[in-house]
């Protein structure tokens, strides 16, 4: 079992509060990702769960047992850090089995568990090598294997892919996802990369300034963000957000034209994702834009449009679209994918 519950958890450093009353229930076997900008408190919260940081106020329960004041060794959790922290003089086998050896486990048991973890992580042929003879991705798999052999209640990952290049990050995302499927274990994963969050998580916890802003599945957060912060943090490139004038059944883009759509009361801002904008002839849609920058990415092209009073709007189009800098085009917003926000930045349900 690996259900974890945080009740009104706070963290204070003297007079400074960095975690502000976090309440969260994590189900057994769930893959939870903490995501947010640098300094939002996600790593601190993970370390509080792991016992590496004291909980100033509130309580932490693991499988219904209060472990708030228990040391890390009593919580049954295992952490994987950004740094591999492998012993350079030891083989992969010895690194993976070291925690069991220090705990006094029999040699046969250690060998069995190391072999099983190595098979799961495709490290069989590297067991006798030393860390210096491995790639970055292989070293990270060894660090994960060291956690697996302990058979923890839950795995805690603190930005484990940050030291890897782009290709290895993609490969390791796949490996971690497959690992979760095979182990069915609870995993809590910290990252600042929203792509990692979207591709790995069962649910995402979006944090900012020590508070949970929204919790939901990747699809829920992408399609139904609770406020401007989540709307622009989840999704790459981020959602376009700009002011609007709204009445009961329509809205007007600054410097643009009216769009027929039922708008909730109090809407002062609107948002539209780059892929939900259709490019057409000038004079069509909600506003015109002048092509400012073209970012060709193969299958897709991102076009930054200068839309006058509405500001800069990013549009995602097909990679073979024929546009050039200076072209003036009309932008039509998908009515079913348009979001509206109040003066405080909170989503208005329409």
What is the Cα Rg of the chain in Å?
24
User: Rounded mean pLDDT of 287-301?
Assistant: 91
The helix (H) or strand (E) run that includes residue 196 is helix 194-200
Mean pLDDT is lowest, of 8-17, 21-30, 136-145, 336-345, for: 136-145
Instruction: Report which of 315, 266, 273 is spatially closest to residue 290, judged by C-alpha positions.
Output: 315
Residue 1: pLDDT band by 50, 70, 90 thresholds?
low
Contact 128, 96 (CB under 8 A): no
Instruction: Quote the crossing angle between the two packed helices 107-120 and 166-183, to the nearest 10°.
Output: 120
Average pLDDT over residues 194-212: 94
Residue in the structure block whose two tokens are 């228990």 = 70
User: Is residue 150's pLDDT more than 60?
Assistant: yes
Q: What are phi and psi of 213, to 5 degrees?
A: -90, -40
In CATH terms, 238-341 corresponds, of 1.20.120.80, 2.60.40.10, 2.40.50.140, 3.30.420.40, to 2.40.50.140
What is the arithmetic mean of pLDDT over 66-94? Answer: 88
Total length of the chain: 350
How would residue 170 be classed by pLDDT, with cut points 50, 70 and 90?
A: confident
User: Would you say 75 and 2 are in contact if contact means Cβ atoms under 8 Å apart?
Assistant: no
Using the structure block, give the residue that is written with the tokens 């057409």: 280
Q: What tokens appear for 97 in the block?
A: 């089995």
Q: Span 272-299, mean pLDDT? A: 92
Q: Give the torsion through C-alpha atoms of 160, 166, 167, 170, to 10 deg.
A: 50
- Mean pLDDT over 296-315 rounds to 92
- Tell whether the model's pLDDT for residue 305 goes beyond 60: yes
Tell me what the mean pLDDT of segment 187-201 comes to: 92
Rounded to an integer, the average pLDDT of 188-204 is 92
E strand or H helix at 211, and its extent? strand 211-216
- pLDDT category, 147, cuts 50, 70, 90? confident
Partners of 59 in the beta sheet?
A: 7
Print the SS3 string covering 42-86.
HHHHHHHHHCCCCCCEEEEEECCEECCCCCHHHCCEEEECCCCCC
**How many other C-beta atoms are found inside a 10 Å radius of the C-beta of residue 133?**
12
- Burial (CB < 10 A; 0-12, 13-18, 19+), residue 29, is middle
Q: What is residue 244's predicted lDDT score, i.e. its pLDDT?
A: 85
Q: Where are the domains of the chain?
A: 4-232, 238-341
Task: Tell me phi and psi for residue 304, to 5 degrees.
Answer: -90, 120
Secondary structure letter of residue 275 according to DSSP: G
Token pair, residue 88, equals: 């350079």
Identify the DSSP state of 82: S
**What is the bridge-based pairing of β-strands 154-158 and 77-80?**
parallel
Q: Which residues contact 278 (CB under 8 A, 6 or more apart)?
A: 285, 331, 332, 334
Q: How far apart are CA 332 and CA 282, in angstroms?
A: 10
Over residues 235-240, the mean pLDDT reads: 91
Q: Is the pLDDT of residue 179 over 80?
A: yes
CB 130 within 8 A of CB 90: yes
Q: HSE, CB side, 13 Å, CA atoms: give it for residue 11.
A: 25
Q: What is the pLDDT of residue 350?
A: 53
CATH of domain 4-232: 3.40.50.300
């Amino acid at each position: 079992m690996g259900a974890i519950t945080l009740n009104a958890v706070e963290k204070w450093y003297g007079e400074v509060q960095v975690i502000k009353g976090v309440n969260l229930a994590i189900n057994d076997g769930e893959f939870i990702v903490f995501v947010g900008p640098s300094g939002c408190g996600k790593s601190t919260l993970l370390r509080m769960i792991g016992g590496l940081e004291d909980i100033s106020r509130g309580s932490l329960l693991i499988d219904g047992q209060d472990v708030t004041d228990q040391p890390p060794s009593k919580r049954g959790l295992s952490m994987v850090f950004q740094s591999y922290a492998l012993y350079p003089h030891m083989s992969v086998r010895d690194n993976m089995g070291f925690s069991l050896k220090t705990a006094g486990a029999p040699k046969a048991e250690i060998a069995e568990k190391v072999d099983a973890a190595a098979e799961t992580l495709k490290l069989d042929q590297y067991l006798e090598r030393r860390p210096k003879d491995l790639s970055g991705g292989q070293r990270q798999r060894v660090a994960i294997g060291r956690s697996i052999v302990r058979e923890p209640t839950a795995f805690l990952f603190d930005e484990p892919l940050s030291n890897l290049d782009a290709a290895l990050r993609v490969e390791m995302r796949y490996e971690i996802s497959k690992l979760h499927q095979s182990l069915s274990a609870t995993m809590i994963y910290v990252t600042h990369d929203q792509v990692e969050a979207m591709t790995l998580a069962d649910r995402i916890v979006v944090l900012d300034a020590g508070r949970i802003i929204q919790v939901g599945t990747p699809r829920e957060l992408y399609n139904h963000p609770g406020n401007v912060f989540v709307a622009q943090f989840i999704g790459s490139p981020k959602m376009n957000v700009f002011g609007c004038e709204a009445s009961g059944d329509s809205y007007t883009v600054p410097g643009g034209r009216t769009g027929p759509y039922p708008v909730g009361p109090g809407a002062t801002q609107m948002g539209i994702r780059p892929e939900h904008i259709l490019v057409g002839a000038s004079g069509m849609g909600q506003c015109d834009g002048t092509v400012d920058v073209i970012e060709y990415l193969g299958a897709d092209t991102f076009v930054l449009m200068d839309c006058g009073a509405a500001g800069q709007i990013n549009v995602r189009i097909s990679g073979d679209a024929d546009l050039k800098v200076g072209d003036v085009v009309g932008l039509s917003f998908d009515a079913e994918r348009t979001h509206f926000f109040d003066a405080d930045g909170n989503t208005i349900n329409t």
